[in-house]
Amino acid sequence: MVEIARYNTWFKKNPQIKFSNVVSSFYLCCILLAWWPYEQAIAQDGQSDDFAQSAVKVAINARSAQIFDSLVAFRRDLHQHPELGGNEMRTASKIAEYLLGLGLEVKTGIGGYGVVGILHGAKKGRKLAWRADIDALASDHPDVVDFESTVPGVRHICGHDVHATIALGIADVLASQKEQLQGTVYFIFQPSEENVRGAKAMIADGLFEDISPEEIYALHVSPYPEGIVVSKAGRIFADFDEIEMVFTKGKDSLEIIDFVKETLNGLETIENPEIFYDPMNFADPEIGLVSPNTIYKDYVSVHSGYYIRDRDGELAISANIGSTDDALLKKAKKRLEKEIKHSKYSNSFLGITYSDVTYHPENDSGLTETAARSITENFGGDTYFEQYGIVSGAGDDFALFQEKVPGVYFLLGASDYEKDIIAETHSPHFQVDENCIKTGTKIFSTLLLERLVPN
Ligand SMILES: [Zn+2]
């Protein structure tokens, strides 16, 4: 997951908010999420009868538990040897070795250090893909876990070591059921997600000429509590654009800067920024992300942190703008241009450019609904939550795969608030509750198994 200005923005707009507040907000989130589905959980009694009756699904659960320790060891090895986007040589080689050990067909060197493992079931059938990203991030902060990074300045603080491991866990579990498997599963291990080059490079290198999945899935660890999966149909992260406005530099440059800031702030459609940007409200049962009445929908947000540059005698001002909806964003851009052109600075105005800062996954609504039903039926109503709200300031180039193949991007809960383990991606304190490896492996092995032979 690429994070752009999310937490920086919160902290800038709410300088009083410290990391401990974020922790307590997610602790609150944990309590709320634990309390909320309680009745549903009792009603469903954990797992449905269908699940218990299915020998294959029981075997999936058993295998997920059996390989858990070795998966944790694998993840810790990746964590200790993180590699930045474009340099994932060791990581890719370890993944390929693991896949070969499972008896999968393996292709390497796709779009850089991309790896694809192909699991052929004993019987012919549908074709599905699972994607995991594998790169790490630059970070000078010391690691907060015992199995710390051995590479100075590089750390897995976005959980891609966990993603790669879960994908291998799913490959292992499904390979153990190969004789019963009807169809083909492609495991795509993508390099360079953080610099958003990897998906593009794999596609350009002929990924979808080599393989032809009918559906594609992926997950990202998230600050939600361990044991749950969250997703939504459509856009899961807000679109995020950089706007750059260029003016002739002159005596009125300071006035122009003030005018631009004011105009940009006027584009924000958030009624109460104090409430909106307060992370304490993300988990609020009435207005938070998983509430049907969420305030985190249908908005245009303007992110503080303007970049002002003197470029060859020209004044360039840029800022980031997020939106949940293309139509809203278009309207905001039109208004901005109109206000500049009608202002007293119109003679100094040289032009405006917009650039997409990242890619935002768009979940297929039918597949999201089917996946939600599958997870709930097999693992209980307290396992899956719909995220009604849309978070601003994050993205993932999994979106490029979704442009080719319909699919779903899930957020996997990976925090244990009681132990102060918060899967706060890109935070120097990022860590995960490793139980999420087992949870992800069994839930998504089951989902893929069901999607191979849909009802
Ligand atoms: Zn990430």
For residues 433-445, average pLDDT: 98
Tens digits of per-residue pLDDT, 223-233?
999 999 999 99
Q: Where are the domains of the chain?
A: 37-236+360-452, 239-356
Q: How many angstroms separate the alpha carbon of residue 328 from the centre of ligand 1? A: 27
Going by the annotation, the residues of the binding site are 158, 160, 194, 220, 426
Distance, CA of 20 to chain centre: 23
Tens digits of per-residue pLDDT, 291-302?
999 999 999 999
| Mean pLDDT comparison of 50-54, 113-117, 287-291, 424-428, highest-scoring range | 113-117
Q: How many angstroms separate the alpha carbon of residue 320 from the centre of ligand 1? A: 20
CATH topology of domain 37-236+360-452: Aminopeptidase (3.40.630)
| pLDDT level of residue 3 (50, 70, 90 thresholds) | low
Q: How high is the mean pLDDT of the chain?
A: 88
Tens digits of per-residue pLDDT, 4-38?
433 333 223 333 333 233 333 333 333 333 323 32
| Mean pLDDT comparison of 45-49, 353-357, 380-384, highest-scoring range | 380-384
Q: How many angstroms separate the alpha carbon of residue 161 from the centre of ligand 1? A: 10
Using a CB cutoff of 5 Å, list residues around ligand 1, an ion.
Answer: 1, 158
Q: How many angstroms separate the alpha carbon of residue 404 from the centre of ligand 1? A: 21
Q: How many angstroms separate the alpha carbon of residue 27 from the centre of ligand 1? A: 22
Q: How many angstroms separate the alpha carbon of residue 134 from the centre of ligand 1? A: 9
Q: How many angstroms separate the alpha carbon of residue 5 from the centre of ligand 1? A: 14
- Token digits for 319? 């800022």
Q: How many angstroms separate the alpha carbon of residue 213 from the centre of ligand 1? A: 23
Q: How many angstroms separate the alpha carbon of residue 350 from the centre of ligand 1? A: 37
Q: How many angstroms separate the alpha carbon of residue 48 from the centre of ligand 1? A: 33
Q: How many angstroms separate the alpha carbon of residue 160 from the centre of ligand 1? A: 6
Q: How many angstroms separate the alpha carbon of residue 222 from the centre of ligand 1? A: 9
Going by the annotation, the residues of the binding site for Mn(2+) are 158, 160, 194, 220, 426
The CATH number assigned to the domain with range 239-356 reads 3.30.70.260
